[in-house]
Amino acid sequence: MSRKYFGTDGVRGRVGQSPITPDFVMRLGYAAGKVLLGRSCMPSGERPAVLIGKDTRLSGYMLESALEAGFSAAGVDTCLVGPIPTPAVAYLTRALRLQAGIVISASHNPYYDNGIKFFSAQGTKLPDEVEQAIEDGIDQEMACVGAADLGRAVRIEDARGRYIEFCKSTFPNDLDLRGLKIVVDCAHGAAYQTAPSVFHELGAEVVTIGVQPNGLNINDGCGATSPKALADAVLAHRADLGLALDGDADRIQMVDAEGNLYDGDQLLFAIVRSRARHARVNGVVGTLMTNLALEHALAKLEIPFARAAVGDRYVVEMLNEKGWLFGGENSGHILALDRHTTGDGTVAALQVLAALREAGGDLKSLLAGLKLYPQKLINVPIVKGFPWKDHPAITAELAAVESRMAGRGRVLLRASGTEPLLRVMVEGEDAGQVLAEAETLAGVVREAAQ
């Protein structure tokens, strides 16, 4: 399916440049509103309503107003909740029985980027065909319903409190976090008013960093994409562990008392192994980027494993196809569909903490059964549309590296769905060979892309 605007996670780009401009976002809201009107079964005289949340980027104010105007022109009501995690929008859309949820966020990207992503009434990412229908309407002439039929906007004042209670409900009732000192890094992002409260209200002593957003500092040297700040804070405060969310709080990384970092593959393993002690786990879905060690560790537990395309929406799609509950990405998107419909950094952290409480000990001992293989990922800038798959130098070097790594690792080339980058990943048993092969292949890509 050809996409002009939508990527793997909605529409994203540099603010002020197409497509992240006020006029485009207004037309996007209008097109989405018209699609929702055509698909809704509202009682006569009632309008469909959507929920709009955002992270802490300064540009969110502008884009929120543009989206609201577009939906209003289409005759759709909007419920505004302000800065709130992406998974909170998914939860609230479902809980309030709304027709869709919209998030204004560029997730882990710097402040100068922003984006728009959608959730269905069920709290899941929109199906491809619905996104395509919205795309088809964006470039059509924008109109406006009659003055009496315009959509209205309301602000939901208790949205954060509702979401905090939901997160707490995913933690076992017979457990608490008393006696734990936890550093929580909110990346100056959407969870700065929710995540600390969740862990504090469950009994933990909470130390916060990354909770002073100014509109420009989201993900800047902190959060899940820059976990050194968390490791330093854990050591400085002599905390038991730390957790870092990204800008829209759907990713999680954790650090133990010694400052050791644990990624999404490791945290997913902790959750799955804990669940397997209580009930059968039918299978786990990872992605093309998932460390081979996780696949091998799950095999020892006799738990099937499958790989989806990179992107949490594709993990969810495969989970639903197979009827499985658990999946995720090494970047920290973790799916526990028995707890939430989408990836949620706070909820995922609570599942790891529940496993930790049940098993006793610390995070390091909890994950002793999984030793990740060395993996090197290099992001090479490319021009959008660069035909890397057909470039002879790249294909020849890729084949050569695959031959040298045969039986001892994996090689993957993948275009980013959110940035103009080609991701070069090499993974294997020997760290030196992994690094050398990754740098060699990345060098060929750089030269070819010039």
**Active-site position among 72, 107, 226, 274:** 107
pLDDT at 40: 72
pLDDT at 38: 84
In a domain, 44, yes or no: yes
Q: Give 10's DSSP letter.
A: B
In a domain, 163, yes or no: no
Question: How wide is the angle at C-alpha 374 spanned by C-alphas 312 and 387, nearest 5°?
Answer: 55
In a domain, 279, yes or no: yes
Encode pLDDT of 45-57 as tens digits: 688 999 999 999 9
| Domain end position, chosen among 366, 393, 415 | 366
pLDDT at 153: 97
In a domain, 28, yes or no: yes
Q: What separation, in Å, do the N-terminal and C-terminal C-alpha atoms of the chain show?
A: 29
Burial class (CB in 10 A: 0-12, 13-18, 19+), 73: buried
Q: Do residue 150 and residue 18 come from a single domain?
A: yes
Q: Do residue 15 and residue 152 come from a single domain?
A: yes
In a domain, 5, yes or no: no
Q: Do residue 333 and residue 381 come from a single domain?
A: no
pLDDT at 408: 79
Encode pLDDT of 305-364 as tens digits: 999 998 888 999 999 999 999 999 999 999 999 999 999 999 999 999 999 999 998 999
Q: Do residue 16 and residue 151 come from a single domain?
A: yes
Q: Do residue 313 and residue 343 come from a single domain?
A: yes
105 is catalytic: no
Regions of the chain with pLDDT less than 50: none
Q: Do residue 214 and residue 243 come from a single domain?
A: yes
Q: Domain of 416?
A: 375-449
Q: What DSSP assignment string belongs to 312-329? A: HHHHHHHHHHHT--EEE-
In a domain, 267, yes or no: yes
Q: Do residue 327 and residue 351 come from a single domain?
A: yes
